[in-house]
Structure 1
Amino acid sequence: MDRLDVMRLFTRIVERRSFTVAAQDLELPRSTATQSIKQLEARLGVRLLQRTTRHVRPTLDGEAYYRRCVAILGEVEDADSAFSGAKPKGQLRVDVHGTLARHFVLPALPSFLAEYPDLKLHLGEGDRLVDLVREGIDCVLRVGDLQDSAMVGRRVALLKEVTCASPAYLARHGTPTQLEELEGHVAVGFISSATGSMIPLEFRVDGAPRNVTLPATVTVTGAETYASAAKLGLGLIQLPRYHVESELLAGTLVELLPEHPPSPTPVSLLYPRSRQLSPRVRVFIDWLTRVFANASSVALAVE
């Protein structure tokens, strides 16, 4: 292995905390990975990794060498792309919000893969917080305000939100035409995975948000269940318009208080602050930004 390949191997071992997993990622025999790192440590004259039966951790020298390797590899990859004109290739690992991916990412994915035929894309699905570096993930697509300062975020869209309920629910409780008429109504409660508390309904009044907490007989933690509960007449809900656009058109859900819409919800791609943005990630972010920009204006408000 040449020096750059050994650097790639070393950074992968640090990130994955495992010789075996790093070797699998790079399609190398584990014995080759072990021998290459031993030769690297011998050449540098320092110990880079602390090995136990369960974990591999960088030493202080290893941490310093890792940071230099990440910067060098990023510069090399950028230089190769700029002067060779070659398109990015290799494995791209992305963690996505499942509902959002099914509506926007997957339908457009064939065009992306046709444009970059040498890329291999792995889509993980979830809304949990992930350790991008430890789990070998290049970037994540998330909905909501950004909280983690350890990651760099690029906003790709603002989702229009809507308040709605089923015709059956409105027949029982009446249709509110102003905020004061929400008294006596109930909501389907959506429980935040971050706080464990029910998220209040939000309405914009004269450009400022106003929170309203309604009683909830049913609380949920999933978007699909949330929308289904509303269609069954269990209460008011607020969620991105794209998620219920077909129900609104069919009349199985009815939009409420459109003059006081909830604040739009940001959609962002995040990647580790400590890692140079690779050409693979850069083209994916640029492509996904175009995907959202070209989506229906009914579903999105793009900056």
Structure 2
Amino acid sequence: MQDLHALLVFARVAEMASFTRAADSLGIQKGRVSIVVRDLEREMGVALLHRTTRSVQLTEDGRAFYLRARDLLADAQELQSMFSGQAASLRGRLRVDMPTELARSVVIPALPDLLMAHPELELELSSTDRRVDLVQEGFDCVLRLGPIVDETLIARSLGKLRMTNAASPKYLERYGMPRTLDDLRSQRHRMVSYTRTLGARHAGWEYPSGDGYASLPLPASMQVNSVQTYHAAGLAGIGLIQAGYSALAHHIESGALMEILPDLRPEPLAASLVVAHRRNLSQRVRAFMNWIEGVLEPYFD
């Protein structure tokens, strides 16, 4: 092979299981992707992909070839950047995913400095509250909150994000300022319940207890399945909320929300950067990891 372009094209098709999505992510025409893969198969002498009208899947030979190609591409990228210092300008595509509210309230406001320092960095930022598939959707790294349940992924722990209890001044005028857990009951407080699935069991009010955390049964004024709606309900005075301090800090500073029970905050939320393979730690990914760790550091508990 004259260069690694064919391997890159093939690997992207394999990861995204689609010629069309691979072409879009590489910025080339779908027909060009098909030609490159076909020529690669001819050169290797084996079929690397099963093609149907609905899907593209690796053959057994293709799976073995992909694993070696992925490592070779990672080695080539590492070789290209091994003499580049950390301060060198980053270039090329970097596709990342992170929770919507964290992107909106913390990461986006800090991005201009990063992009100004690295004008050739092609950042593709996905913000969603679902668990994306790193390989199938072509992500270089993903910022995840909470435990990492997939043991096949490589995770780098960043720290634990501070949580806070909050309510609007209008709500506290009606119910009073709680000073203790008993006040939550005696003052007949209500909370907004956040669940991923509407109708799921209400978790209650979380608080530290002994060496761990417990839950106090507390009536829910409403149930929501969106983080943004959850925050909006707290701001509207519908009920008490428990959320990441990073998302509520500007509301607390402006007086739109007030922190309550500061000594009884919920359990901090673990933040991790996740990659699909250790070889995915290119210079771009490592630099982004270091940058975002610095951005989040003020909000770690």
Q: After TM superposition, is the score higher than 0.5?
A: yes
How big is each residue's C-alpha offset from its partner over 1:95-133, in whole Å with a ceiling of 9 and x where there is no partner?
Answer: 222221122212221221233222111111211111121
Percent identity between matched residues is: 38
TM-score normalised per structure 2: 0.89
Identify unmatched segments of 5+ residues in structure 1. none
Match of 1:231 in 2: 235
How far did 1:87 drift? 4.3
Matches within 5 A, 1:136-175: 136-175=138-177
Deviations 1:177-212 (A, max 9, x none): 222332232111111359944343211134421112
Q: Distance in 2 between matches of 1:20 and 1:236?
A: 46
Partner of 2:130: 128
1:185 aligns with 2:167: no
Secondary structure of 1:25's counterpart equals helix
Residue 16 of structure 1 pairs with residue 16 of structure 2: yes
Shift of 1:176: 2.5
Query: Aligned partners of 1:10, 1:46: CA distance in 2, in Å?
Result: 13
In 2: Cα distance, 1:289 partner to 1:252 partner = 28
Aligned CA distance change for structure 1 residues 197 and 90 (closer, same or farther; 3 Å) = farther
User: Which residue is equivalent to 2:219?
Assistant: 215
Q: Determine if contact 2:155/2:274 at 8 Å carries over to the other structure.
A: yes
**Alignment match, 2:119:** 117
2: distance between equivalents of 1:27 and 1:115? 24
Q: Which residue of 2 aligns with 1:301?
A: 300
1:249-260 → structure 2 map (5 Å cutoff):
249-260=253-264
Gaps of at least 5 residues in structure 2 are none
1:78 is aligned to: 78
Contact 1:192 1:199 survives alignment (8 Å): no
Please provide the CA RMSD for this pair.
2.4
> What TM-score results when the alignment is normalised by the length of structure 1?
0.88
Query: For residues 84 and 208 of structure 1, do their structure 2 counterparts lie closer, same or farther at Cα, with a shift above 3 Å needed?
Result: closer
Structure 1 window deviating more from structure 2 (214-223 vs 143-152): it is 143-152
- Once residues 21 and 265 of structure 2 are traced to their aligned partners in structure 1, the CA distance between those partners, rounded to angstroms, is 47
- Asked if 1:90 is matched to 2:92, the reply is yes
* Greater CA drift, 233-242 or 6-15: 233-242
**Alignment partner of 1:27 is 2:31:** no
**Preserved contact between residue 145 and residue 269 of structure 2 (Cα < 8 Å):** yes
C-alpha separation between the residues in 2 aligned to 1:152 and 1:111? 28
Query: d(CA) in 1 for partners of 2:98 and 2:113?
Result: 18
Is the CA contact 2:196–2:226 (under 8 Å) kept in the aligned structure 1? no
Distance between the aligned counterparts of 2:176 and 2:29, measured in 1?
67
Q: Is the 8 A contact 2:163 2:243 kept in 1?
A: yes
Shift of 1:13: 0.8
Where 2:144 maps in the other structure, the secondary structure is strand
Matching residue's letter, 2:229? T
In 2 relative to 1, CA 180–92 (structure 1 residues): closer, same or farther, beyond 3 Å? Answer: same
Q: How many residues align?
A: 297
In structure 2, what is the equivalent of residue 36 of structure 1? Answer: 36
**1:35 is aligned with what amino acid?**
I
Q: Alpha-carbon deviations, 1:240-292, whole Å to 9, x = none?
A: 12322333344443322222221111222222137632222121111111222
Deviations 1:17-68, CA, capped at 9 Å, x for gaps: 1223323332334333223222222222221111111211100111111000
Residue aligned with 2:74, SS: helix
Structure 2 counterpart of 1:114, which letter?
M
Q: Tell me if structure 2 keeps the 8 A contact 1:48–1:61.
A: yes
Partner residue, 1:276: 280
